Amino acid sequence: MRPSARERLSLNTMTTKQLSLDEAVALALRLDVPALGLWRDKVEEVGLAAAARRLREAGLRASSLCRGGFFTAVTDEGVRAALADNRRAIDEAAALGAPELVIVAGGLPDGDRDLLAARQRVADRLGDLVPYAVDHGVRLALEPLHPMFVADRAVVSTLEQALDLASEHDASAVGVVVDTFHVFWDPAAEPMIDRAGREGRISSYQVCDFNLPIVEGALLSRGMMGDGHVDFERWTRAVTRAGYVGDVEVEIFNADIWSRDADRVVEQMRGRYDELVAPWL
């Protein structure tokens, strides 16, 4: 049976960065949120085995683990370190029961301006990691980031690039993340969501708004749904039309939201989700 919209809601731990994992678990139970999207730092704070146990005991799903990637290094040493860290992330996702490991490609090495070569290294590193990920039952969920992050965080900026990189691998091994903040500007994103659906590659649908003015550093410009400029009906209809029936993670980096009471934030999040996202799932 198709899960209900409420059964598909996932709280990404970044939205309540002010909480420990234990606190986020308790909050999810209290407010009836059935899944968490996990960042590795929150898992590390309590330890992997303990984190997996807490989720299991609470009956919460881990919708994804964030993040692997950052593997655009040029030097042999840098490549080795990135691969080792990504294998650890795959181990962690498997232990937590997270089916998807979010992969953020990484930016340009210091002083390097060659985006084409960096993108080729992303393809190479995906190739290196896929067998290990498949062995561990974890899918690599490649996330294109907004082009404002191309130099420092992700040389993969569009769903089309992500799908082209994924196409070298089986759909069960490499998928893509559709994050409204990162794709809403892109005139090609809707047809690419269709394509991702046809190819069975939508790993995750992440929602948050695009706030203005852009804050210094741009990272914390993500906003609560409804506070910014994203048309959630359009994007949610698109992933639904593409056949996506998985979790919908709310992942917000926002200094103001982090300074507020987390219960109020998650109550507001549920309300905005019910109003702006759920009708189109």
**Which residues here bind its own copies, judged by CB under 8 A?**
108, 113-116, 119, 146-148, 150-152, 157-158, 160-161, 184-187, 210, 212-218, 228-231, 234
Shortest Å distance, C-beta 267 to its own copies: 24
Say how many residues make up the chain: 281
Q: For its own copies, give the closer residue by CB, 30 or 241.
A: 241
Shortest Å distance, C-beta 199 to its own copies: 19
Q: Is-contact 275 226, C-beta < 8 A?
A: yes
* CA distance linking residue 153 with residue 149, whole number of Å: 5
Q: For its own copies, give the closer residue by CB, 49 or 116.
A: 116
Q: For its own copies, give the closer residue by CB, 59 or 217.
A: 217
Shortest Å distance, C-beta 239 to its own copies: 17
What would the two tokens of residue 122 be? 């992303």
Q: DSSP of 252-271, one letter per residue?
A: ---HHHHTS-HHHHHHHHHH
Shortest Å distance, C-beta 55 to its own copies: 35
3-state class (DSSP) for residue 103: strand
Peptide bond into 270 cis (omega under 30): no
Closest CA to 192 of 155, 233, 235: 235
Shortest Å distance, C-beta 150 to its own copies: 4
- Per the DSSP assignment, residues forming a β-bridge with 205 are 178, 248
Element (DSSP H or E) covering residue 160? helix 159-166
Q: For its own copies, give the closer residue by CB, 59 or 111.
A: 111
Closest CA to 269 of 32, 11, 30: 11
| Terminal alpha carbon distance of the chain | 14
Shortest Å distance, C-beta 74 to its own copies: 15
User: Which ranges of 75-158 does DSSP label H, i.e. alpha helix?
Assistant: 76-96, 115-135
Q: Residue 81's Cα: distance from chain center in Å?
A: 22
Q: For its own copies, give the closer residue by CB, 210 or 273.
A: 210
Q: For its own copies, give the closer residue by CB, 100 or 209.
A: 209
Reported as half-sphere exposure (CB side, CA atoms, 13 A), residue 76 has a value of: 0
Q: For its own copies, give the closer residue by CB, 225 or 266.
A: 225
Shortest Å distance, C-beta 65 to its own copies: 27
Q: Is-contact 202 178, C-beta < 8 A?
A: yes
